[in-house]
Chains A and B, each alone.
Chain A
Amino acid sequence: QKEVEQNSGPLSVPEGAIASLNCTYSDRGSQSFFWYRQYSGKSPELIMSIYSNGDKEDGRFTAQLNKASQYVSLLIRDSQPSDSATYLCAPSLGSARQLTFGSGTQLTVLP
């Protein structure tokens, strides 16, 4: 079993719709969770972090965390073509350890 699993996609949604990206992780010691966005040919950029169970909202983005289910998700409301990218899920085992990245979900928002 992979440490971090994401649906590789591609996931296509129409402009204005809600995009839902899912991630499961195997290590119950994971404490913090990060979502990175990576455009083709570019390096990842941090878009969301979540540390406790529940929802965290930041603009059009909402991260959801359920540690009991070892599940974290990212919702993008009012999706825009500029949101088209690969989204990487990265749980953290603490500052002394490197992040483990999922393989990413490729999102395409259709105009």
Chain B
Amino acid sequence: GAVVSQHPSRVICKSGTSVKIECRSLDFQATTMFWYRQFPKQSLMLMATSNEGSKATYEQGVEKDKFLINHASLTLSTLTVTSAHPEDSSFYICSARSGEWEKLFFGSGTQLSVL
């Protein structure tokens, strides 16, 4: 399967700081990338969909000014959690697809802990 790399795998930060998470497709061009958040023992919650070169589409209830998404190239998307607070602590996962693919390939996830 296709490889999606996500970094960092774990980050601990102080409240009020910003955290950037990178998601890279290593062996294919990701025309679409998705960002999910997952709280313990809950399912994946889609936060936003990003297409290369265009603005991300955010799901209802997700603050676009707090969760900044950039998909500047066909292999890289970033999620920046701005002014993080303890309630933002969660497992953030990116996924990617290419062209006509329907299946998604996931990054390894980032566990964010905000103190």
Contacts and interface: CB of A to CB of B under 8 A. Distances in A.
Contact residue range for chain B? 20 to 34
B108 A41 contact: no
A16 to B, nearest CB: 27
A65 to B, nearest CB: 14
A92 B106 contact: no
Contacts of A62: none
A88 B111 CA distance: 20
B106 A43 contact: yes
A98 B101 CA distance: 11
Contacts of B100: 95
Contact residue range for chain A? 20 to 34
A42 interface: yes
Contacts of B109: 41-43
Interface in A25-61: 31-32, 34, 36, 41-46, 49
Contacts of A76: none
Contacts of A102: 43
Interface in B60-113: 91, 93, 97, 99-109, 111
Contacts of A34: 102-104
Contact of A32 (B6, B102, B106): B102
Interface in B1-31: 1, 6
Contacts of B115: none
B46 A98 contact: yes
Given A42-B109, A101-B43, A94 B102 contact: yes
A73 interface: no
Nearest to B42: A103
Contacts of B42: 103
Given A34-B103, A46-B105, A95-B102, A41 B111 contact: yes
A76 B29 CA distance: 33
A103 B44 CA distance: 8
Q: Which 6 A-B pairs have the closest CB atoms?
A: A43-B109, A103-B43, A43-B106, A92-B102, A43-B93, A95-B100
